[in-house]
């Protein structure tokens, strides 16, 4: 057993520690006005890559706005935004290779965009039409792409965490020059799968980078009611995992931490935990009303820390961007998104038979019986179904 070797002589009553003294700093490079913090170590982020990161962040902000409105118009059943957390996702995915597997939660649409997911693919999934890669089986925002090495999103919280540890262990056994990137929120860190996944990764030295987006709320439950310790980062230390906390609205800090995290995962063959401190500016989902559990004043404090505006300020200071380019890009994205939305909502739905394919090599008898019962039910009540 590798327990701490230090022995305390019993010369006084036993002393217990509760972890309340653990306070991890948060890495920051950029100030909100786009200036570089004094003494900060700048990451090597080329101009073209910086412009792509910023463009993708802006794209997702506009996509979220358009699809939120589409849901309110009754054109879409459900949606979840990434608004306010764009840098936490963009700064991480940009540091990883195309061969690295991504296991996300449901605010990481920016990871798909960065790897090449098209507007049409977003729309086809959201509307569950015949061109949806998931064949219309998943509810909106449950994206996935085998081609882009992004595992399909699951609704139950934290399932991807032990899966990521296991997948990374497989990469390790095969000697692949790749790792796994796993995203989740601080609410998911309250699930048992979080502890199982981190412990497995630590014991087996799995090349996996866990990114926990601490946005302050698990739906309506604030952090103060979720845990008594200093956020999620100390838990990584407790499992023996290399851990860092970063300002999740600072694109350069997130990127710098992620570059090093991937290096550790690949070269040292061990797990890493990154906690990004950010804020969910929008509702948890289109089914949620945040005004019932947080104030407008609190929201405004974080709107003033907008990650997109911060990166834009830095890009302009670098002379890598300007207001005209920004306006033109926004208009271009808005036009593209609306056009693809209109096309996607008109496409046919997948054939009913797709419900029972792709799970088993041969469709088992019990599924065939259920499907036949479904067909009979629809035939009996044709006016209630659009198939």
Selecting among 47, 72, 293, 385, the annotated active-site residue is 293
Listed residue (162, 171, 179) closest to 96, CA to CA: 179
Active-site residue (options: 142, 235, 270, 280): 280
> Which of the residues 142, 213, 245, 284 is marked catalytic?
284
Q: Which residues contact 287 (CB under 8 A, 6 or more apart)?
A: 78
**Is-catalytic flag, 293?**
yes
Tell me if residue 366 is catalytic: no
The per-residue b/e assignment along 46-75, b for 16 or more CB within 10 angstroms, e otherwise, is: eeeebeebbbbbbbbbbbbebbbebbeeee
One-letter-per-residue 3-state SS of the chain: CCCCCCCCCCCCCCCCCCCCCCCCCCECCECCCCCECCCCCCCCCCHHHHHHHHHHHHHHHHHHHHHHHHHHCCCCCCCCCCCCCHHHHHHHHCCCCCCCEEECCCCCHHHHHHHCCCHHHHHHHHHCCCCCCCCCCCCCCCCCECCCCEECCCCCCCCHHHHHHHHHHHHHHCCCCCCEEEEEECCHHHCHHHHHHHHHHHHHCCCEEEEEEECCEECCEEHHHCCCCCCCHHHHHHCCCEEEEEECCCHHHHHHHHHHHHHHHHHCCCCEEEEEECCCCCCCCCCCCHHHCCCHHHHHHHHCCCHHHHHHHHHHHCCCCCHHHHHHHHHHHHHHHHHHHHHHCCCCCCCHHHHHCCCCCCCCHHHHHHHHHHHHHHHHCHHHCCC
Residues recognised as catalytic: 280, 284, 293
């Amino acid at each position: 057993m590798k327990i701490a070797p230090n022995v305390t002589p019993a010369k006084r009553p036993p002393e217990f520690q509760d972890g309340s003294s653990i306070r991890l700093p948060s890495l920051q490079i950029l100030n909100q006005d786009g200036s570089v913090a004094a003494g900060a170590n700048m990451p090597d982020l080329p101009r073209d890559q910086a412009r792509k990161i910023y463009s993708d962040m802006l794209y997702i902000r506009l996509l979220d706005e358009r699809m939120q409105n589409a849901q309110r118009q009754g054109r879409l059943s459900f949606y979840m935004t990434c608004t306010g957390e764009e840098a936490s996702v963009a700064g991480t995915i940009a540091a990883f290779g195309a061969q690295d597997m991504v296991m996300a939660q449901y605010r990481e649409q920016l990871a798909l965009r960065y790897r090449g997911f098209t507007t049409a693919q977003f729309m086809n999934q959201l509307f569950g039409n015949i061109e949806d890669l998931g064949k219309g089986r998943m509810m909106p925002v449950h994206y996935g792409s085998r081609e882009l090495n992004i595992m399909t999103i699951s609704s139950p919280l934290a399932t991807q965490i032990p899966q990521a540890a296991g997948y990374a262990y497989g990469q390790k056994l095969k000697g692949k020059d790749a790792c796994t990137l796993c995203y989740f929120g601080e609410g998911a860190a309250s699930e048992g799968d979080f502890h199982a996944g981190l412990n497995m990764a630590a014991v087996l030295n799995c090349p996996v980078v866990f990114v926990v987006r601490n946005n302050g709320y698990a739906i309506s439950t604030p952090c103060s009611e979720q845990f008594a310790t200093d956020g999620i980062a100390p838990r990584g230390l407790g499992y023996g995992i290399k851990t860092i906390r970063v300002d999740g609205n600072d694109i350069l800090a997130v990127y710098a931490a992620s570059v090093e995290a991937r290096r550790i995962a690949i070269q040292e063959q061990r797990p890493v935990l990154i906690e990004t401190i950010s804020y969910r500016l929008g509702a948890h989902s289109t089914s949620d009303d945040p005004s019932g559990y947080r104030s407008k004043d609190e929201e405004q404090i974080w709107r003033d820390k907008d990650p997109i505006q911060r990166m834009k300020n830095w890009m302009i200071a670098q002379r890598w961007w300007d207001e005209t380019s920004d306006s033109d890009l926004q208009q271009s994205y808005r036009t593209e998104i609306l056009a693809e939305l209109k096309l996607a909502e008109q496409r046919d739905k997948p054939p009913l038979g797709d419900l029972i394919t792709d799970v088993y090599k041969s469709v088992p008898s019990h599924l065939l019986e259920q499907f036949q019962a479904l067909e009979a039910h629809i035939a009996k009540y044709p006016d209630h179904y659009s198939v």
